[in-house]
Amino acid sequence: MDLSASTATLAAAAADIVRLVPARYTDPLLSGLLLTAGRDGVVLAASDRERTARVSCDALVHTDGTVLVPAKPLAETLRALDVDRVRLVVEGSRLAIRADGARFALPLLDAALHPGVPTPPPPGGTVSGAKLSTALSTVSATASRDDTLPVFAGVRLRAEDGALVLRATDRYRMAIATVPATDLSPDIDVLVPAGLLSEVAKQASGEVSLATDPNRFTLSWGNTTVTTAVLDGVFLSESSLVLNTVDTWVETDADTLLAAARRVALYTDARGVLQIEVGDHELRLRGTDPQAGEAEESVKATVEGGRTSPAVQSRYLIDALRPYTGTRIRLSIQPGMRATVITSVDEQEVPIKYLMMPLLPPRQ
Amino acid sequence: MDLSASTATLAAAAADIVRLVPARYTDPLLSGLLLTAGRDGVVLAASDRERTARVSCDALVHTDGTVLVPAKPLAETLRALDVDRVRLVVEGSRLAIRADGARFALPLLDAALHPGVPTPPPPGGTVSGAKLSTALSTVSATASRDDTLPVFAGVRLRAEDGALVLRATDRYRMAIATVPATDLSPDIDVLVPAGLLSEVAKQASGEVSLATDPNRFTLSWGNTTVTTAVLDGVFLSESSLVLNTVDTWVETDADTLLAAARRVALYTDARGVLQIEVGDHELRLRGTDPQAGEAEESVKATVEGGRTSPAVQSRYLIDALRPYTGTRIRLSIQPGMRATVITSVDEQEVPIKYLMMPLLPPRQ
């Protein structure tokens, strides 16, 4: 293999792949980057068997070839170079990265042993990258970080009435976002690792095309294609939650409530209990902590129905309010240990619905 | 106590104090902030017995008084408030922080048990805050993070020919900066904790006045005064180092060498050995690592004398070059296990001299 290419383009491609397929295993083959140079340029690819990513780049290819090299040193060297173009050339048992006055030589790993990157399933619709990112930034963050229970560490993506509906829950809260889609296959219903989707949310741009088969899910945008094994498990559906006993409706400004919640959260105890008291024309947030003291803050609101006043986890309330920045929100509150539902009163480009379970009120 | 003041001013004062005197002990009294309201406004102060800080703020004082409250909750609440003015008022056993629609109540600690903030020693000269910060950002970073050996965790500040000379070493390298001073007392020669000085470097502005007595060292700027106990120990002086066997002089561009060193450092082994080879018109940097491979990069240089070629710790070389950004530097290299001296060829506002001990070259 012998090629020259734009340093910035190659560096961006290598960095994107390293973030999409981080080396999670000690097997050096799986933390390798597979470079394939051919007539159309160079393709960078990585696989850890569960997920694969490939990015194609323009390159001036002098000699075709395929090599496997350690991914991170390659990505870091390309990022650190401050020359416009770089040459990658196989020299004996090394891939040399050459720039004016400098030579960096990476050991070649055995490309024949690499699992490779399979052809993705046939495409099944497209969504806007920007809207998908908006949806994912809320929904992926709502999944559990703990991946011992895959169903809580995944985001369910499902075609519903031609739109892509994304849902995630960690048992204590659930986020639901609806992203408009084009030509969406009605069969799409997959559970995908939230960690990968968080990274996709950072990278995806332009049009994103979706594809699925019984075991895999693929996202493609620009020159990038990511495929992951889907997770097993029966996702907790909203229909299993009681949502029809709402007796209290509150409308208020999301930003004002968020700022107040952040302040009062400084005064919550180890459990993070924040009491929301529904008054006639306001919400009162209260927190109390044996060390820090007590806090109380009122936020103007329109209240209808009863005065059901839930206690919530302060951190969860802050997370729940973040997607509604700049809008007026409606809280639909149910008595007892049933979820509070947050939606926007204003129109959102990507409509988001947030369900938050209450806590037991603070012990007196 | 009852006062109202600008939220931003109080928040900045509280945040500065929390950073200058971080709560290092579990004693709640020592992680408290002492507020003294009087005719001239309010004074915020903290002490952990070894160091003290005080900041005075304008305030409209309705009732004088002194209270001690937990520092961090106060600082965080003030920072989170988005109102112009805030009221601090004692209500029973609480200090209430009041703003429109909100009340945050901090428990009062026993102010009588607080060690207080003693009067600083008489002033002994001034330096420019900006120049002191430049000097400290290099010199404090060269001290050891490990404070079991105080002499390596401190910065020595010493009056020499009317200027303030700052020195720090962690045994493997030494940084020496010379800051012009006004009316400097010739007696100043103290060893001060580097951690505190790093924070001072971030905060100091305008004129900084220095003061010392046998056990304490004080820095004051604007409305802020910081006093610390000085460290014990005999500081390793330059005169104890051999610096007169230089046989190789190299001049090169600091930024080019720094960028090359950062790239080659990616290819150094666990010891971080980076080989500097002195050629006729260039420096060649070499690194080799069993996993990552090998790197070699050349940087143009003017070379005089011999061709003594030291091996250095790559991280130390990068640290050593950083203070010379934008200038041409001179490396004075000695044979054997003796220090390489880095100075700037161009004039620096705050002249810095950097000494770096060599490593044994990589085992072949």
Bridging pattern class, strands B273-278 and B282-289: antiparallel
Give the mean model confidence (pLDDT) for residues B216-245. 88
- Dihedral angle, C-alpha A42, A46, A47, A53, nearest 10 °: -80
Do A77 and B263 count as a contact with CB atoms less than 8 A apart?
yes
Query: How do residues B121-151 score in pLDDT, each as one tens digit?
Result: 999 999 999 999 999 999 999 998 887 788 8
Q: How many CB atoms lie within 10 A of CB B28?
A: 15
Reference A123, options A36, A20, A207; nearest CA is: A207
Superfamily of domain A2-113, CATH level 4: DNA Polymerase III, subunit A, domain 2 (3.10.150.10)
B259 touches chain A (CB under 8 A): yes
pLDDT of residue A235: 74
Does the structural domain B123-237 have CATH classification 3.10.150.10?
Answer: yes
At residue A173, what is the residue type? R
A73 touches chain B (CB under 8 A): yes
Out of B107, B294, B298, closest to residue A293 by CB = B107
pLDDT at B49 over 80: yes
Do A102 and B296 count as a contact with CB atoms less than 8 A apart?
yes
- Dihedral angle, C-alpha B269, B270, B272, B273, nearest 10 °: -60
Q: Write the CA distances from A238 to A168, A324, B247, integer angstroms.
A: 11, 20, 78
In sequence order, the 6+-apart residues with CB closer than 8 A to the CB of A148 are none
Question: In the block, which residue shows the tokens 């909203």?
Answer: A238
pLDDT at B26 over 90: no
Bridging pattern class, strands B123-128 and B207-212: antiparallel
Does the structural domain A123-210+227-237 have CATH classification 2.60.120.10?
Answer: no
pLDDT at B364 over 70: no
Do B299 and A101 count as a contact with CB atoms less than 8 A apart?
yes
Instruction: Quote helix, strand, coil % in chain B, to nearest 5.
Output: 20, 45, 35
User: Residues in chain B, how many?
Assistant: 364
Out of A102, A291, A297, closest to residue B101 by CB = A297
> Distance between CA B301 and CA B278 in Å, rounded?
9
Query: How do residues B266-299 score in pLDDT, each as one tens digit?
Result: 999 888 999 999 999 999 999 999 888 999 999 9
Reference B163, options B183, B139, B143; nearest CA is: B183
| In chain A, ranges of CATH 3.10.150.10 domains | 2-113, 123-210+227-237, 241-356
Q: Are A297 and A279 in contact (CB under 8 A)?
A: no
Query: Angle between the B129-142 and B194-203 helix axes, to the nearest 10 degrees?
Result: 150
> Distance between CA B299 and CA B348 in Å, rounded?
23
A82: closest chain B residue by CA: B259
Do B295 and A104 count as a contact with CB atoms less than 8 A apart?
yes
N-to-C CA span, chain B: 72
**How many beta-carbon contacts under 8 Å exist across A and B?**
93
pLDDT at B363 over 80: no
Do A105 and B77 count as a contact with CB atoms less than 8 A apart?
no
Residues of A in contact with B90 (CB under 8 A): none
pLDDT > 90: percent of chain B: 83
Q: Are B270 and B288 in contact (CB under 8 A)?
A: no
Confirm whether the ipTM is greater than 0.90: no
Just give the CATH number of A241-356. Answer: 3.10.150.10
pLDDT of residue A129: 97
> Distance between CA A131 and CA A148 in Å, rounded?
29
> Token pair of A143, please?
């999944």
| Candidates A18, A33, A77, A286, partner chain B, best to mutate (most B CBs within 10 A) | A77
A283: closest chain B residue by CA: B101
B78: closest chain A residue by CA: A263
Low-confidence ranges of chain A (pLDDT < 70): 361-364
> Distance between CA B69 and CA B72 in Å, rounded?
9
Q: Supply angle C-alpha A261, A266, A267, rounded to 5.
A: 100
Neighbour-count burial of A66, counting CB atoms closer than 10 A to its CB (0-12 exposed, 13-18 middle, 19+ buried):
middle
A72: closest chain B residue by CA: B292
In DSSP terms, which residues pair with A62 in a beta bridge? none
| In chain B, ranges of CATH 3.10.150.10 domains | 2-113, 123-237, 241-356
Neighbour-count burial of B18, counting CB atoms closer than 10 A to its CB (0-12 exposed, 13-18 middle, 19+ buried):
buried
pLDDT > 70: percent of chain B: 99
Q: For residue A73, give the 3-state DSSP assignment.
A: helix
B81 touches chain A (CB under 8 A): yes
